Amino acid sequence: MKLAVVVDTFPRWSERFIARECRELLRRGVDLSIFCLRAGDELPADEHEWDGLIERRIVLPRCLMPSLRSESHLPAAVRARRELVRETLGATAYAKVRCAESLTELLRTHGVMHVHAHFASLPSTIGWLAATECGLPCTFSVHARDLFVDAQLLAQKAGDAAAIFCCHGKAFEFLKKEHPAAKAIHMPHGLPLELFPRRKKSPFGTPHLLAAGRFVEKKGFFELLEALAEPELLKAEWTATLLGDGPLRAKLKARIERLRLGARVKLIDAVTGDALRAEFERTSLFIAPYKETTEGDADGIANVLLEAMALGVPVVATQSGSAKEVVTSATATVIAECSALQIGAAIGKAIVESARTGTFADAARALMEEKFDVRKNMEPMIREFMPRG
């Protein structure tokens, strides 16, 4: 089986789930190439989840202007799809989509048999066009913002796709409601659990809090900082780290300074591999105060939340998006809503009830082993990609 995986940026720290899926596909005998619009983050030497993948990456050439080549030779169905993209996305976006022409040629050169794209936005539009022009089956995965805010031509792509993989229940239910004829498959992200062993002991001393993720509104980090500045919580002993990167970094740093939290709260760059595991090892509580924004953007199930649970780090979290699939009264200290008052109350409770949070961590690890093992969870995709008979 020769597979093309189409993504926007590769590698990207916040999209480690793509690397995990690709490595499991390779382990199962699927020969794949990764086609991306942009080369991504530089990887540290100790980050092994991307091993064997960078050499399979092909960065598509930039398409700054629409092609001037005649389209009269193309089949009518292909011309119709191109015209639909032109009319729907406009000239500027369409210029980017014309990267599909380059991808079409590469698919033929590489002998690709199936195209799979991540995200309901631009990558799946490019993958869909190229697959159509090559007469190949196409599938794509949908996640969160890409589906609920940034989706492109979803009805058309859903109608043509052999299958659409949904990593959480909210996305699956949305597709079943809005596009009932599409073949939607609920396939949660899994973890390579051998890389996330249950930690042997909890850290001693002053409780250390960790929040990690993209520095964007839906993560609720501003509300978290306001909670940490509440007088009642300041009476307790604790330190905290915000780990990640993103467009709101400068504003978060300014908020830490305004709230005079600099002595207790550190803002550090995103790390992966051994460095990320070291952060988890010294963490007493992982805080996930995620929320849905006014434009409808919310996480499905954040992968860093799954990682914390797999490692046995006690979790304090909201049930935003599809987090309720893992954040329950049995596995975590639940934050009722993303507000400073509720976040502070939940953190305070978790610090005081440390023995109980340890029980939550055991239950969360068991849940990861039962329902979020990548080798189990990838079965629907393996069945879709591997030749039958």
For residue range 21-46, what is the model confidence (pLDDT) as tens digits? Answer: 999 999 999 999 999 988 987 877 77
Same domain, 141 and 225: no
Nearest partner of 245 among 8, 12, 19, judged by Cα:
12
Instruction: Kindly report the CATH number assigned to the domain that includes residue 165.
Output: 3.40.50.2000
Residues 29 and 67 in one domain: yes
Q: Does 181 lie in the same domain as 238?
A: no
**Alpha-helix runs per DSSP H in the chain:** 16-27, 76-97, 99-109, 122-134, 145-148, 154-160, 169-178, 221-228, 231-234, 249-258, 273-281, 303-311, 340-352, 354-371, 374-377, 379-385
Instruction: For residues 200 and 173, state if they share a domain.
Output: no
pLDDT in tens, 86-119: 788 776 666 666 677 789 899 999 999 999 999 9
Q: Domain residues for 261? A: 193-371
Question: Are 202 and 186 within one domain?
Answer: no
Q: Are residues 162 and 222 in the same domain?
A: no
Whether pLDDT at 65 is above 60: no
More confident residue, 49 or 234: 234
209 shares a domain with 335: yes
90 and 144 in a common domain: yes
Q: pLDDT for 262-310, tens place per residue?
A: 999 999 998 888 888 899 999 999 999 999 999 888 899 999 999 999 9
Indicate whether 165 and 219 sit together in one domain. no
CA atoms of 50 and 55, how far apart (whole Å): 10
Predicted structure pTM score = 0.89
pLDDT digits (tens, 9 = 90+) for 131-142: 988 999 999 999
Helix, strand, or coil (residue 209): strand
Domain count, the chain: 2
| Cis preceding linkage at 203, omega within 30 | no
Tens of pLDDT, residues 7-20: 999 999 889 999 99
Check whether residue 378 and residue 319 sit in a common domain: no
Query: Does residue 58 sit in the same domain as residue 166?
Result: yes
What pLDDT sits at residue 44?
Answer: 73
Domain co-membership, 285 together with 357: yes
How far apart CA 27 and CA 13 sit, in angstroms, is 22
